[in-house]
Structure 1
Amino acid sequence: MIEGERGVLDLFRIVNHLVLRPGSGGELALTVVTRSADDPASAAALGFARSVRSECERWRVATVDIGPGDPAAVRPAAPGDYALRAGRWYREVLEPVDDTAGARPVLREGGTYVVVGGTGDVGLDIAEQLVRRHGARVVLVGRSAPDEDRAARIKALDPSGTRVEVHRADAARPGELRAVLDRVGDVHGVLHSVTVPSDRSLAALDEESFLRGMAAKSRTTEALAEALGDRRPDFLALFSSVQSFLGNPGQAAYAAGCTAQDAIGRALAARLPYPVRVVNWGAWSGSALTERHRDRLAAAGIHPLPPEAGFEALSRVLGRQEVQVAVVSGTDGFLGRIGVPAAGAGADARRQAGAEAEAAPSAGTAATAGAGVPGAPRRRTRCSPSSARWPVSGPVSWHRTTCSAGSASTRSRTRG
């Protein structure tokens, strides 16, 4: 059973040993057991296991998050991600956001916004939208100075040098981030857009690279929350990835870091006196990461998001109550892989739901649960598109829901 960060490292070492041994391409059953899915280490193990399942196609990889009184010696009959509570099995199904409910405006005209990891592709896209749409003052924080192309882009966006500032700081060091915030003064919103490329197959992924890739998301998020201290911005937005739910081959460290960041974000939302939002982005058009994996994304049915559409989705997310929301665009097949209903099911749900109808978890058995997971409740969803051509053209936004441990007909939401 995974317990703490050491448990995640032990899991990595086990998998690394298995993939390097002769015959690693054969069949193998691996069950990863955790006791608290909202613990960052347990969440990291889930993301890592999803990537292992994708990369090692003949392995039967399952994850089970158990409740306080449930046995740790469990073995589902089919691969997948499960929760066991008081002897009952659950699976997560993602619920598309109802965009007809509207969102309150959060971004201020002329406000000051800090983007940590802001000299990356996504950070610069967000900065550009903030300046052009809201006349904002944007503070970009990065460990190193922007390269020549990005410096030129910043200059083109802010020829006078009055709207965009660049500050250097290590995002994993709270003291350095705090010093930047002190120099900036009043801050109306903070966005975390830190990532470290760590694409390697499991066989080529060494321990140091795994820990570095995971920490790029998790430890920098914790450091930023610490640096903010008693400040009360309008919001804290954490940029995670849809890899939390996909776990693509070759992205084990990144997937682990994203799921850990998601859990940290949910915990911060429950603790801090201002809204915290976790955004699991799909592919972002024009980014270096998207360009590097363009063929893979196309084959998977993923449609990169234009920056303008991404920013509009972010603006809506910030003004809603859901804590964790994914913004994605792609084919039915891709959306189905992350738990979004097929187009027909979405259309039916839209016709039935109207503006605000909600569906409770269903007691139906999940199709992949198998005989070893009797009666696993699968959560049904309602769908509301963010464009009339959903789900192919998207983007589709959905939020994470949780099922109560005691009943298959009770549903709870995480609120900000």
Structure 2
Amino acid sequence: AAAEHELGPAPAGKALSRLEADRPTDLSVVTQETQSVAGEPSGARGAGLAGLVYFLARDSRRFAVRNLDVSGADLTTPAGRAEVAAAVAAEPPAPGGDLVALRGGRRYRQEVRPVDPAEAADAGLPGIRPGGKYAVVGGSGFVGRIVSRHLIERHGAQVVCVGRRPQSDPAVREALEGGRIGYVQADVTDPGQARQAIAAAKAALGGLHGVLFAGATRITGGPGDLTALGEAEFREHFDVKAAGSRHVYEAVAEEPLDFLCYFSSAQAFAFGGAGTHAAYAAGITFADAFARSVGPRSAFPVGIVNWGAWRASFGEAARDYPTLGFLD
């Protein structure tokens, strides 16, 4: 229920996509504290809007979009509200829907920076334990299968996968690799099923050291207009990421885990090319914001890996993206 309010922008986005005009329509979308600047607390409410703006910016050139996030601290006085309103009005359009955070009269933009592996290794965060016990949510999907195999072959780990398909499904049987991997059928968009799945995985393994969330739905079509996306389809793609991420965290919040790792996508950023599938873009921007919001108060590290595009996750639709550098 907490994530369902995020579906509201879908009908609005479809209505906007139907607008006909002889010049681009100005569109400013403003959220509050969905981004963390300089380590400040953030939340997930409204964060799916950022992904929808990415889509609207790239779906057509009918919109001159501004994708902005503001701080509640700047809205506490009439003067502060006036200053924020002026900054929103003065913000130039962003052709790709780039997200800008306005804080204390300053303007912040996202960018990619290289990470030194040596510095990352020295951060003191827990890694994969040799022989550790792990649950992989979405483990029968392409990325989940790769990760599960890596955990077993490189680390001697014990793995239980959680997925929506029945164990008799050929894709699931292949993912379980002849019984090396355990399996629990569950739809984690349902909070009760998420709790039961984590409990079942913990019981099967005799404990849990970490959980990896790789849940996603397969993208079955090429680039498309938002008007062609039904609400049921939007909900399916969105909920797997948004509701699933929330429910899995709630299911493990009291567990003494080494870590919880969410698998996301570079499409969670405007420069990642999120303009092809509105619901997926909205789902991952919400899920990433949720992970950022719970990380500081969690008893264990909560991380996000924003993968590039996996060819197999697109299926036959990969042919529609000849210039995209797919991960194989």
> TM-score under structure 1 normalisation?
0.65
The residue that corresponds to 1:179 in the other structure is 196
Q: 2-side partners of 1:226 and 1:177: how far apart?
A: 9
Q: Does 2:156 match 1:131?
A: no
Alignment of 1:30 with 2:27, yes or no, is: yes
The aligned residue for residue 304 of structure 2 is 278
- 1:236-259 C-alpha deviation (Å, 9 max, x unpaired): 110111111135333111011001
The one-letter amino acid of 2:274's match is N
CA RMSD of aligned residues (A): 2.5
Shift of 1:117: 1.0
Residue of structure 2 in register with 1:292 after alignment: 317
- Cα deviation, 1:132-165, whole Å, max 9, x if unaligned, reads 111211101111125654245346x3x4x3x311
**Aligned equivalents of 1:131, 1:137: Cα separation in 2:** 7
Aligned counterparts of 1:278 and 1:133: Cα–Cα separation in 2: 21
Q: Give, in whole Å, the separation in 2 of the partners of 1:210 and 1:137.
A: 35
Partner residue of 1:357?
A: none
Quick one: which of 196, 199, 208 aligns to 2:217? 196
SS at match of 2:99: strand
Q: Any conservation in 1 of the 2:51–2:285 contact (CA below 8 Å)?
A: yes
Name the CA shift for 1:154/1:91 in 2 (closer, same or farther; >3 Å): closer
Distance 1:212 1:40 in 2: 19
Report how far residue 186 of structure 1 moved. Answer: 0.3
Q: Which amino acid aligns with 2:231?
A: E
Specify the alignment match of 1:59 in structure 2: 63
Change in 2 beyond 3 A, CA 1:25/1:117: farther
Deviations 1:95-126 (A, max 9, x none): 22112325166112221110111111111111
Given the alignment of the two structures, is residue 253 of structure 1 paired with residue 279 of structure 2, yes or no? yes
Which amino acid letter does the alignment assign opposite residue 138 of structure 1?
Answer: V
Partner of 2:228, secondary structure, is: coil
Q: Is the 8 A contact 1:202 1:250 kept in 2?
A: no
**Letter of the aligned partner of 2:133 in structure 1?**
T
Aligned pair 1:265/2:287, yes or no?
no
Instruction: Among all aligned residue pairs of Structure 1 and Structure 2, give the percentage whose two residues are the same amino acid.
Output: 34
Distance 2:9 2:120 in 1: 43
Which residue of 1 is the match for residue 77 of structure 2?
Answer: none
Return the offset for 1:7.
6.8
The CA distance in 2 between the partners of 1:146 and 1:288, in whole Å, is 20
Aligned to 1:78: 93
Distance 1:226 1:180 in 2: 12
For 1:40, give the aligned amino acid. A
Aligned residue for 2:118? 100
1:150 aligns with: 171
Of the three residues 182, 201, 223, the one matched with 2:247 is 223
Partner of 2:52: 48
User: Is 2:208 the partner of 1:208?
Assistant: no
**Structure 1: runs of 5 or more not aligned:** 307-416
Q: Is the 1:40–1:260 contact (alpha carbons within 8 Å) kept by the matching residues of 2?
A: yes
Alpha-carbon deviation of 1:8? 4.5
Per-residue CA deviation, residues 79-101 of structure 1 (Å, 9 max, x unaligned), is 24222222222222222211232
**What is the deviation of 1:267?**
1.6
Distance 2:24 2:47 in 1: 25
Q: Partner of 1:279: helix, strand, or coil?
A: strand
Once the 2 structures are TM-superposed, how far is the Cα of residue 263 of structure 1 from its aligned partner?
A: 0.8
- Comparing both structures, which one devotes a greater share of its residues to helix? 2
Residue 39 of structure 1 corresponds to which residue in structure 2? 43
Q: Unmatched 5+ residue regions in structure 2?
A: 35-41, 75-80
Matched, 1:305 2:327: yes
Q: Which amino acid aligns with 1:92?
A: Q
- Pairs within 5 Å for 1:344-355: none
Separation of aligned partners in 1, 2:5 and 2:207: 40
1:119 matches 2:137 = no
User: 1:42: Cα distance to partner?
Assistant: 2.7
Supply the AA of the counterpart residue of 2:14. N
* CA 1:57–1:248: 2 relative to 1, 3 Å: farther
Q: State how far apart, in whole Å, the 2-side matches of 1:222 and 1:266 are.
A: 12
One-letter identity of the residue aligned with 2:151: L
Cα distance in 2, alignment partners of residues 253 and 190 from structure 1? 24
The residue identity in structure 2 corresponding to 1:46 is A
Counterpart selection for 1:89 from 87, 107, 114: 107
SS in 2 for 1:95: coil
Describe the SS at the equivalent of 2:244.
Answer: helix
